[in-house]
A and B are shown apart, each in its own frame.
Chain A
């Protein structure tokens, strides 16, 4: 069974203080690893898809990286508007009917001004 574990559960940063969020996963062949951002009262918003170890994607102050067992979301010089819950999900490669997305429980990021 696919598993996703995110750490830490919560992270509080000062504005400008860079850090990383971790997503460890277990999957029988990775089709894709997804990062989402969720603001209170809203649905998750897609950020990145990563496919293979060594791959990196960037968007503004966010950079996602992938190894065979985990993914990191690096946040450089964060701003208060980066405060949100960040979710990681995996989709396994498999038979033609397997498109299930398995999510971690997320990391609640708070950036103080």
Chain B
């Protein structure tokens, strides 16, 4: 089965450090989402791309978060500088046809100490 691959799976970092999370969407999928999941807020949309163009990043703190899709096989989410409140699980998802939904990766669990 095709999978969305996220790296790293776990990341522990100190406050103030830069964090980069990577996502390899399923080949042929033209829509890529970044979500953050916490117990309190559930799944929050951070940003998404369609055909590699950023369509909406209104869910991201602009001063510290950035999302890019340098090519069709890679999406990145960067946090600089990281803060303890950024601790969460970050998911990437990709899809192209609504009947098949969107496929999620296994997530990156980020802990900022």
Which A residues lie at the B interface, using CB under 8 A? 31-32, 34, 36, 42-49, 51, 87, 89, 91, 97-106
Number of A-B contacts (CB under 8 A): 57
Interface contact B45-A100, CB-CB below 8 Å: yes
Interface contact B42-A99, CB-CB below 8 Å: no
Interface string of B70-113 (1 = CB under 8 A from A): 00000000000000000000010100001111111111000000
Which B residues lie at the A interface, using CB under 8 A? 4, 31, 33, 35, 42-43, 45, 48, 50, 55-56, 91, 93, 98-107
Smallest beta-carbon distance B24→chain A, Å: 14
Q: How far is the CA of A101 from the CA of B45 in the complex (A)?
A: 8
Given A87-B43, A106-B42, also A46-B100 (CB < 8 A): yes
- Where chain A touches its partner, the secondary structure class is strand
Give the interface centre of A32, A47, A101 by most chain B CB atoms within 10 Å.
A101
Q: How far is the CA of A44 from the CA of B35 in the complex (A)?
A: 11
